Amino acid sequence: MKRLLTAIWLLLLCCALTGLAQTSTRLNTAKLSPAEQSIERSKQAIEKNPRQADPYNELAFAFARRARETSDVTYYTQAEEAVKKSLALAPGNPGGEKARVWILLGKHEFAQALEAAKVLNKRVPDDLLVYAYLTDANAELGNYDEAEKAANWMLKLRPGNIAGLTRAAYLREIFGDTAGSLELMEMAYQSTPPAELEERAWILTQMAHLKLFTGETGEAEKLLQEALALFPGYHYALGNLAKLRIEQKEYEQAVGLLKQRYEAAPHAENLYELAEALALAGRVEEARNCYTEFEKKALAESAQWDNANRELIFYYANYAKKPAESLRIAQLELARRRDLYTLDAHAWALYKSGRRAEARRQMEAVLAIGAHDPKILARAELIKR
């Protein structure tokens, strides 16, 4: 779920890439994704104007977009290289600085991204993209009032813009307004150009995620199948379809979907969800092996910004029965970010460690934000007893 939520905050602004459409060279891009098309156009623009910074900025945004399409974080490294070239050609140019902040967000370096976005906001106070950065970084750090202010500014600056709508929708979800979140997502979908296949698939996936909350499984299924038809093998849609199959107790189908997702996006948190599904399917030995591999991968990245610490907290609390280790990881992550989902995980680690009064206080803070995820509410009920 973490990467899925992080993707909400990283939905690439169409306006950041509109300049790419001006490239006169015609390419045979029928089989390329939207991000791949942008990468090719940017490279051709660089060949024509190798001493200009803007084509490198466009390339950086395109690589970041490709990272979301594929969940392959190595694209951020390529994006960073493009930004370095841009800033070397034109030190401090706003496009390069904006691309740099976008990459920080993609790498989950939220505190650094927030500080850089604040600096940019002073330089260019009416820039829509910078307000998107402020929304994203503040939301990830748990500064929800500031995130809401920035999202409102986005919609004030350009009413009905897609990036503002999706961010406002995410905050509505966080605050417990599922119907309002769904309404905004539907508005964003209607405004998204038909050629933007991945963006449309992403929004459909978010709408399905919200439908699952309200128990509308039939609607969720339709939305997810439509997303997969638009963008075959889309890792976000596969993950949500697996959640739907688990609700339907179709555990073997869920395992198949999560294996497909892990092959496409081999991240530790995806491995954790696969292990859970294997256990539900009664494939105990496979689940055990999967959990073991998950723990190894998750621990290896636990000190990094982009990590699977939230899953690791629940692994140690619920499966490995190591509450002290669960609490250690929770405190490590809490020092970096205090979003709703990190607070929830920390509350559960406290509860499992026998620190129930602290757990209740922490969970009260979670519920005060507006949490309505059924799993969070179930944990809250147990902690309250």
Residue 176's φ and ψ, nearest 5 degrees, are 90, 10
For 144-206, give the secondary structure using H, E and C: HHHHHHHHHHHHHHCCCCHHHHHHHHHHHHHCCCHHHHHHHHHHHHHHCCCCCHHHHHHHHHH
Residue 365, classified by CB atoms within 10 Å of its CB into exposed (0-12), middle (13-18) or buried (19+), is middle
Tokens of 79: 């994006």
**Residue 119 CA from chain centroid, whole number:** 24
Is a pLDDT exceeding 90 seen at residue 189? yes
* Cβ atoms of residues 173 and 184 within 8 Å: no
The tens digit of pLDDT for each residue in 327-370 reads 999 999 999 999 999 999 999 999 999 999 999 999 999 999 99
- How far, in Å, CA of 186 to CA of 200, rounded? 10
The tens digit of pLDDT for each residue in 234-293 reads 999 999 999 999 999 999 999 999 999 999 999 999 999 999 999 999 999 999 999 999
Q: How far is CA 329 from CA 207, 247, 253, 297, 304, in A?
A: 32, 29, 32, 14, 12
- How far, in Å, CA of 151 to CA of 128, rounded? 10
What sign results for the dihedral spanned by CA atoms 221, 226, 231, 232?
Answer: positive
Question: Residue 26 has what pLDDT?
Answer: 38
Q: How confident is the model at residue 34 (pLDDT cuts 50, 70, 90)?
A: confident
Query: Count of alpha carbons within 13 Å of 305, Cβ hemisphere only?
Result: 16
In the predicted model, what is the mean pLDDT of the chain? 92
For 213-233, give the secondary structure using H, E and C: HCCCHHHHHHHHHHHHHHCCC
Tokens of 182: 């769904």
Interval 53-61 mean pLDDT = 95
- How far, in Å, CA of 101 to CA of 120, rounded? 9
Q: How far is CA 351 from CA 272, 319, 374, in A?
A: 21, 15, 18
* Cβ atoms of residues 111 and 336 within 8 Å: yes
* Cβ atoms of residues 204 and 225 within 8 Å: no
- Which domains does the chain possess? 1-21+33-108 (1.25.40)
